[in-house]
């Protein structure tokens, strides 16, 4: 669908949770649908780890359709005939917003000189964008996975900025298992000799092998075992020359699942920056809303984080998602109940694992539409 | 018009809808597809929340814009703060609770008052079926066999009144129904197919 691309230059330095600040920040974003005169119909869609602002328009690098075209568009659950949809690339990413490949004040890319950021820092950038656009309160903030973390972070830290909060397949904090998988990915990147401590922007080569392995490992966590078995099982991969797949007694991609993962990994390196992957996974690992709201040396309680919440909340989990399982959403629901916030929660049945939020799950469409319009 | 709409509710729900004060904070435990919540929001401007165990019912509720959480009332009531609601509602669900006594306590912890309805196992057709056939009754109002039913704690009007007394719960109001019509109080433990009580912490 038709989208408008924009770059917003932050008028002031962006303070960061680390205590540092970032100057000259730019945020790249897409908009869809008309903004009402009173600016009351804006919906902010937040993207996941490797997502971007192209939620419902073709990706400029891959040419593929927007990552949530099935959800966002005219007459779709996030209806651009009714709502003005904004989707911005988070800071630290690589699709036009300021990140490690952006140029620092000295004219060279930041690379690993880029400050470590948090999910709250990303959201602080988004709030600065909303300020710039003159949007005081969103009709809704919506996101899945890391997008859901941003939606929750906005609700906890800027409680008057969104009337509705829709967080799908997400969590209030990264678990040891979540951190572990991310660390595998980061180590794969940093073990690639082409990474060169992150200073690869000026050279001929980039750490594609490491980034591809990181993506392969992460991709497994986005799928369910049932889904993998159904899609690939132990089936063998036919050769490019057309010969039937067979065990080669070597280390080619004999199995279809190997071939698929390699394809996913190499495709990813064409559109994503390895250092951005390091920074964004780090931000997700640091994510813990309760901890952010710890006071006076006491352990933070999740309910306290949402004590001032004014919004209506809707949480959705999927029964086959083992990355951010239903228990994580329930944990959030209990905290929101304790805080007295109006909250809906449903665990939907879908076979696709964590990626279910991006795929064909008609029940999700109905929930999203009902929640946004209700 | 509001009266006309309310009349499409099941009779016990219509009575509840009629007696919930305007603008009340309401928790509907086991809210099903949200028909009562929707009526309360529409006709009483209530701030209604729901808990429902069946995901398809929850989905239908959320799709109507209702605030409903998929959960198990036996387990999840504990996460609501004391006195969070003016009214807690437990319609046709008490007999499915793991511990109905605990659930009554929880209900009156989170709500200042509660409406509780349940099928009356002492209804004469039940007694007759049990006496004449010597088997667990399967009736219009309790249509599921003993081994498949979710009703694991059958209860009578007298049992409920005794439980209320044991728990120090005050019975504020009571209504009885047979064949989808309200009936008088006389001989209710025989005559009522199901019962509705309004209770408070006493």
> Of A153, A354, A355, A356, which one is the catalytic site residue?
A354
What's the length of chain A?
Answer: 374
Instruction: Examine the pLDDT at A370 and tell me if it is beyond 80.
Output: yes
Q: Do B54 and A346 touch, CB atoms closer than 8 A? A: no
Q: A337 to chain B: which residues are within 8 Å by CB?
A: 69, 79-81, 84
Residue A197 appears among annotated catalytic residues:
no
pLDDT digits (tens, 9 = 90+) for B10-67: 999 999 999 999 999 999 999 999 999 999 999 999 999 999 999 999 999 998 999 9
Asked if A370 and B63 come within 8 Å (Cβ–Cβ), the reply is yes
**CA-wise closest residue to B17 among B32, B30, B2:** B2
Tell me which chain A residue has its CA closest to the CA of residue B38.
A374
Residues A261 and A369 in one domain: no
* Pairwise CB contact (< 8 Å): B65 & A374: yes
Do residues A32 and A84 make contact, with C-beta atoms less than 8 angstroms apart?
yes
Band (pLDDT 50/70/90 cuts) for residue A295 is confident
Closest CA to A5 of A124, A102, A87: A87
Active site residue A79: no
Taking the mean position of all CA atoms in its chain, how far away is CA A324? 13
CATH for A336:
3.40.50.1820
Question: Which pLDDT score, from 0 to 100, does residue B40 have?
Answer: 97
Answer yes or no: do A371 and B47 touch at CB < 8 A: no
Percent of chain A clearing pLDDT 90 (strictly above): 92
Q: Could you tell me if A130 and A86 lie in one domain?
A: yes
Count of A–B CB contacts within 8 Å? 67
pLDDT given at position A312: 96
Same domain, yes or no: A214 and A241: yes
Q: Do A343 and B59 touch (CB under 8 A)?
A: no
User: Are A148 and A201 part of one and the same domain?
Assistant: no
Distance CA A354, CA A337 (A): 25
Q: How confident is the model at residue A308 (pLDDT cuts 50, 70, 90)?
A: confident
pLDDT at A310: 85
**Three-class HEC string of chain A:** CCCEEEEEECCCCEECCCCCEECCCEEEEEEECCCCCCCCCEEEEECCCCCCCCCCCCCCCCCCCCCCCCCEECCCCEECCCCEEEEECCCCCCCCCCCCCCECCCCCECHHHCCCCCHHHHHHHHHHHHHHHCCCCECEEEEECHHHHHHHHHHHHCCCCECEEEEECCCCECCHHHHHHHHHHHHHHHHCHHHHHHCCCCCCCCCHHHHHHHHHHHHHHHCCHHHHHHHCCCCECCCCCCCCCCCCCCCCCCEHHHHHHHHHHHHHHCCCCHHHHHHHHHHHHHCEHHHHCCECCECCCHHHHCCCCCCEEEEEEECCCCCCCHHHHHHHHHHHHHCCCCEEEEEECCCCHHHHHHCCCHHHHHHHHHHHHC
Instruction: Check whether residue A53 and residue A75 sit in a common domain.
Output: yes
Q: Determine, for residues B58 and A344 on separate chains, whether the beta-carbon distance falls below 8 Å.
A: yes
Question: What pLDDT is attached to residue B142?
Answer: 83
User: Does A124 share its domain with A199?
Assistant: no
Helix (H) or strand (E) holding B105: helix B100-110
Q: Do A334 and B76 touch (CB under 8 A)?
A: yes
Domain hosting A187: range is: 178-281
pLDDT at B70: 96
* H or E stretch at B126: helix B124-133
- Regarding whether A310 and A244 lie in a shared domain, the answer is no
pLDDT top residue among A300 and A195: A195
> Chain A: which residues have CB within 8 Å of chain B?
312, 314, 330, 333-334, 337-338, 340, 342-349, 363, 366-367, 369-371, 373-374
pLDDT of residue B6: 45
| Nearest-by-CA chain A residue for B64 | A370
Q: CA nearest A339: which of A308, A363, A318, A317?
A: A308
Residue A2 has pLDDT above 90, yes or no: no
DSSP B93: -
- The residue extents of the domains of chain B are 2-120+154-200
Residue in chain B lying closest to A340 (CA): B84
Dist CA B137 CA B150 (whole Å): 14
Question: Is there a catalytic annotation at residue A373?
Answer: no
pLDDT of res. B202:
61
- Per-residue pLDDT tens digits for A55-91: 999 999 999 999 999 999 999 999 999 999 999 999 9
Partner-chain contact B63 A330, CB within 8 Å: no
Q: Domain boundary at A281, A302, A330, which?
A: A281
Per-residue model confidence as pLDDT tens digits over B92-120: 999 999 999 999 999 999 999 999 999 99
pLDDT of A265 above 60: yes
Rounded-to-integer distance, Cα A140 and Cα A121, Å: 19
Q: Count the domains in chain A.
A: 2
Residues A48 and A168 in one domain: yes
Q: What is the pLDDT of residue A109?
A: 97
- pLDDT band of residue B68 (cuts 50, 70, 90) is very high
Per-residue pLDDT tens digits for B120-130 = 999 999 999 99
From A273, A321, A329, A356, active-site residue: A321
CB-nearest to B79 from A337, A349, A373 is A337
Catalytic hit among A145, A224, A317, A329: A145
In this model, does residue B4 exceed pLDDT 60? Answer: no
Q: The domain B2-120+154-200 belongs to what CATH superfamily? A: Vaccinia Virus protein VP39 (3.40.50.150)
Q: Do B70 and A371 touch (CB under 8 A)?
A: no
Please say which residue of A224, A258, A281 terminates a domain: A281
Q: How much is the pTM?
A: 0.94
Q: Which of A191, A297, A264, A219 is nearest to A49 (CA)?
A: A219
> Model confidence over B154-169: pLDDT tens digits?
999 999 999 999 999 9
Last residue of one domain, picked from the residues A264, A281, A298? A281
**Does residue A112 share a domain with residue A12?**
yes
Cα distances from A354 to residues A46, A224, A279, A328, B199, in angstroms, run: 16, 7, 21, 13, 44
B120 vs chain A: nearest CA distance in angstroms? 32
Instruction: Specify the DSSP element, H or E, that contains B67.
Output: strand B67-70
The answer on A269 and A204 residing in a single domain is yes
pLDDT at position A49: 98
């Amino acid at each position: 669908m038709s989208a408008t691309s924009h770059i917003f230059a932050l008028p002031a330095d962006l303070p960061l949770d680390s205590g540092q600040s970032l100057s000259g920040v730019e945020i790249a974003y897409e908009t869809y649908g008309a903004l009402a005169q009173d600016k009351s119909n804006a919906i902010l869609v937040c993207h996941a780890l490797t997502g971007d602002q192209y939620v419902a328009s073709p990706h400029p690098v891959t040419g593929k359709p927007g990552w949530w075209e099935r959800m966002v568009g005219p007459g779709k659950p996030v209806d651009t005939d009714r709502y003005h949809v904004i989707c911005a690339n988070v800071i630290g990413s690589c699709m036009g917003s300021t990140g490690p490949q952006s140029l620092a004040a000295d004219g060279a890319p930041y690379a690993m000189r880029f400050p470590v950021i948090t999910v709250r820092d990303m959201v602080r950038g988004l709030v600065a964008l909303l300020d710039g656009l003159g949007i005081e309160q969103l009709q809704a903030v919506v996101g899945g996975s890391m997008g859901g973390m941003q939606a929750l972070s906005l609700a906890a830290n800027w409680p008057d900025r969104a009337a509705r909060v829709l967080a799908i397949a997400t969590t209030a904090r990264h678990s040891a298992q979540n951190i572990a998988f991310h660390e595998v990915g980061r180590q794969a990147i940093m073990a690639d000799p082409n990474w060169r401590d992150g200073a690869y922007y000026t050279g001929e080569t980039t750490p594609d092998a490491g980034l591809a392995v990181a993506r392969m490992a992460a991709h497994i966590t986005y799928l369910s075992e049932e889904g993998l078995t159904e899609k690939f099982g132990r089936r063998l991969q036919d050769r490019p020359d057309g010969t039937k797949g067979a065990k080669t007694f070597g280390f080619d991609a004999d199995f279809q699942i190997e071939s698929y993962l390699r394809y996913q990994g190499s495709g990813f390196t064409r559109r994503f920056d390895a250092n951005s992957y390091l920074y964004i996974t780090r931000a997700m690992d640091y994510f813990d809303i309760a901890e952010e709201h710890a006071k006076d040396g006491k352990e933070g309680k999740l309910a306290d984080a949402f004590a001032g919440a004014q919004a209506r909340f809707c949480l959705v989990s999927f029964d086959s998602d083992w990355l951010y399982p239903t228990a994580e959403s329930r944990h959030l629901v209990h905290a929101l109940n304790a805080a007295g916030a109006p909250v809906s929660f449903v665990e939907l049945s879908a076979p696709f694992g964590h990626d279910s939020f991006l795929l064909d799950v008609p029940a999700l469409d109905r929930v999203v539409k009902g929640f946004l319009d209700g | 018009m509001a009266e006309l709409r309310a009349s499409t509710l099941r009779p016990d729900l219509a009575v509840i809808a009629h007696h919930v004060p305007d603008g009340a904070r309401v928790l509907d435990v086991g809210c099903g597809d949200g028909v009562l919540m929707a009526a309360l929001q529409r006709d009483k401007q209530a701030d209604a929340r729901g808990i429902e165990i069946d995901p398809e019912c929850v989905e239908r509720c959320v799709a109507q814009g209702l605030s409903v959480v998929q959960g198990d009332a036996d387990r999840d009531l504990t996460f609501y703060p004391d006195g969070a609601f003016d009214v807690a509602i437990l319609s046709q669900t008490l007999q499915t609770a793991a511990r109905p006594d605990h659930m009554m306590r929880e209900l009156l912890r989170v709500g200042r008052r509660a409406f509780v309805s349940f099928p009356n196992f002492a209804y004469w057709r039940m007694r007759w079926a049990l006496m004449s056939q010597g088997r667990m009754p399967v009736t219009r109002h309790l249509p599921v066999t003993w081994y498949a039913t979710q009703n694991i704690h059958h209860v009578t009007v007298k049992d409920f009144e005794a439980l209320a007394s044991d728990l120090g719960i005050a019975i504020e109001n009571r209504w009885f129904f047979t064949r989808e019509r309200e009936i008088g109080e006389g001989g209710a433990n025989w005559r009522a197919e199901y019962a509705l009580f309004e209770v408070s912490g006493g």
